[in-house]
Structure 1
Amino acid sequence: MSKENKSALESANQAIRAGNIEGFLSFCTDDLEWTTVGRETIKGKDAVRRWMRTAYTDPPKFTVTDLIAEGDLVAAIGEIAINDGHGQQAHSSYCDVWRFRNGKMAELRAFVIDLDGSAT
C-alpha cells in the first residue's frame, strides 16, 4: 500500500502545482484533518478548500526533495514558496506527514520553518 499512497501524493501535488484545488482534494477524505504544527488545525475537506482558496491565490511553487512511504504514512520533505498576499514570495522548508485511509489522504501534520521570516 505504501507505493500506491506515495503515487497518490505525487499526483495530488501535481494538481496543486497546476492550481487545481479540486483535483488535489479528490485525493482526500471528506473528514480530512490538516494541521500546521504550532499554528492551526483545519477539519473537513470543505474547510480545507476554503483555506486553500485564500492561502493559494497563486499556485504554490514547491520542490519535494525526499518522499518516504511506510504503511499508511507518506512523508514529503522539501521547500515551498507561496504568494504572501503583498506580491512577495514567502519561502519555507517543510516536512509533511500524510496519513492515508483507504487510499485517500486523511490527515496531514505539516512541520513548516519560515526561511525568510515570513509566515506561510
Structure 2
Amino acid sequence: MSESNKATLEQANKAVRSGDNEGFLACCADDVVWSTVGGETLRGKEAVRAWMAEEYVQPPEFTVNTLIAEGDMVAALGEIVSYDDGGRPIRNAYCDVWRLREGKLAELKAYVVPLVK
C-alpha cells in the first residue's frame, strides 16, 4: 500500500509541475480537504480547482527531497518556488502530509515556511 500511495503522490506532483491541474485533481478524492497550517482550508475538488486556477497561473517549481509513506499516509518534504502576481519568485520549504483513501489523495496538511533570501 505504501509504495502505491507514493506512486499516486508522484503522479499528482508531476501533473502540478507541468501545469496539468486536472491531472492533479484526477488523483484526488471528490471530497478532498486541503489545509495549509496557519492558512485556509479548501474542501472538495471544486474549491481546489478554483484555488489552483488563481495561485498556479504559472506552475510552481518544487523539489521533493524526502518521501515517506506508512499505511495510508505519505509525507513529502522539500522546497517550492511559486510566483506572485508580478511574476516574482517566492521560495518556501514545505512538508505536505497526505492521507489517501482508496488510492486517492483525500486530505492534505501543508506546512509551508518562507526561506530567507
Q: Shorter-chain TM-score category?
A: over 0.9
Q: How far, CA to CA, are the matches of 1:52 and 1:87 in structure 2? A: 16
Deviation of the 1:116 alpha carbon = 4.3
Aligned-partner residue type, residue 64 of structure 2:
V
Calculate the aligned-residue CA RMSD, in Å.
0.9
Corresponding residue number in structure 2 for 1:34: 34
Q: Does the 8 A contact of 1:90 with 1:116 survive in 2? A: no
Query: How many positions carry a matched residue from both structures?
Result: 117
Aligned to 1:80: 80
Length-normalised TM-score, structure 2: 0.98
Specify every segment of 5 or more residues in structure 2 that has no aligned partner in the other structure, as ranges: none
Indicate the SS of the match to 1:75: strand
CA distance in 2, matches of 1:61, 1:112: 14
Q: State the distance in 2 between where 1:109 and 1:55 align.
A: 17
Flag the 1:13–1:42 CA change in 2: closer, same or farther, 3 A. same
After TM superposition, the score normalised by the length of structure 1 is 0.95
Secondary structure at the counterpart of residue 35 of structure 1: strand
Q: What's the offset of the Cα at 1:52?
A: 0.4
Question: C-alpha distance in 2, partners of 1:61/1:33?
Answer: 22
| Cα distance in 2, alignment partners of residues 46 and 39 from structure 1 | 18
Q: Tell me the distance in 2 between the aligned counterparts of 1:70 and 1:115.
A: 28
Please name the residue that 1:99 is paired with.
99
Task: State how far apart, in whole Å, the 2-side matches of 1:63 and 1:106 are.
Answer: 22
Question: 1:24 matched to which residue of 2?
Answer: 24
- Residue 66 of structure 2 aligns with which residue? 66
Percent same amino acid among aligned pairs? 56
Q: CA deviation at 1:29?
A: 0.3
Which runs of no fewer than 5 residues in structure 1 stay unpaired?
A: none
Q: Deviations over 1:50-75 (max 9, x none)?
A: 00010001010000000000000000
Task: Provide the C-alpha distance between the structure 2 equivalents of 1:11 and 1:60, rounded to a whole number of angstroms.
Answer: 15
Give the CA deviation at 1:115.
1.3
Alpha-carbon separation, structure 2, partners of 1:9 and 1:30 = 16
